[in-house]
A and B are shown apart, each in its own frame.
Chain A
Amino acid sequence: MTVQTIADVVFGDEITPWQPDTSLQATRSFAEAVGYSGSGRFEDHGKARAQGLPGALVPGIMGMGFLTSMIHRWAPQGKIKFIDTVFRAPVLADHDHTVTAVVTDIDEENGEVVLDLTIQNEQEETRVFGTATVHLPAAS
């Protein structure tokens, strides 16, 4: 489901959940691009475990990227004005995670929607949560 204008948004609507690519290849590529690579914590399960971690991690800001990507697919004309992500627990690479969002507020006058965001692991434990404010065009 996608929305084009603020008039398409319904309070309480859930954006279609999405399973992002958390493979080591993806986390390695991301870590290289943001300058986080080298320690192995985002690139290699063995090296990450040697540092006391449960395995290689998805960088926290990659989780933010998963959330913004999902919002952009849901609202192709939408502009994210603000996104806040709380890193509650590690997101492990090579594990399935589900990204979800729910509409919690609609300000039709200013064309703004507030979303509650979560990233959950296979055990349905919330690893990342947050909020986003998205601007959408008015209905023509």
Chain B
Amino acid sequence: MTDIDDLRSKFLDLEFDRTGFVIDAEQSAKVAKASGETRAEFTDTTDPNFEACAPILASLASGRRLPIDFPTLGGISMDGGKAVACIKPVRPGIKLTGKTHLHDIYAKSGRSGRMIFLVSRMQLYDDSGEHLATTDSRQVIRERPDK
């Protein structure tokens, strides 16, 4: 059985990926409209306050999902959820840098066995180093009984 405390001590809070992004305004507006958004600041690219919507921020993927030396846990991996913290408006068209680390590792046990949760946190910065947003991606791995 995977030792969760060992994983936490080795991998938490260490940056393992740095990826650059530029959000396209039309793409963000299309995502917002497809989700039923009606506010112009998310759907109208000509709006002076236009900004990237939360789902497009949540869609930004780091170059690596896990640290390069993270062990293979086996089992079935699922997308367990996403979170977005909006600190400042993210304007499309600007250069963004996403710095990713493992924010949390924990396990939950149920009748069907144990599930391991890996929370990857990406912090998004603009070119001047200002922190604009943070996204969490929760990966759930249903552990195989023989692991």
Contact = CB atoms under 8 A, between A and B. Distances in A.
Interface residues on B, range: 20 to 34
B122 interface: no
A80 B86 contact: yes
B134 to A, nearest CB: 9
B57 to A, nearest CB: 9
Nearest to A28: B34
A111 interface: no
What's the dominant secondary structure at chain B's contact region?
A: mixed
A29 B38 contact: no
Interface of A: 18, 20-21, 26-27, 29-30, 32-36, 60-62, 64-66, 68-70, 72-73, 76, 79-87, 130
A26 B54 CA distance: 17
Given A29-B30, A65-B53, A73 B82 contact: no
B81 A60 contact: yes
Contacts of A83: 54, 83-84
B37 to A, nearest CB: 4
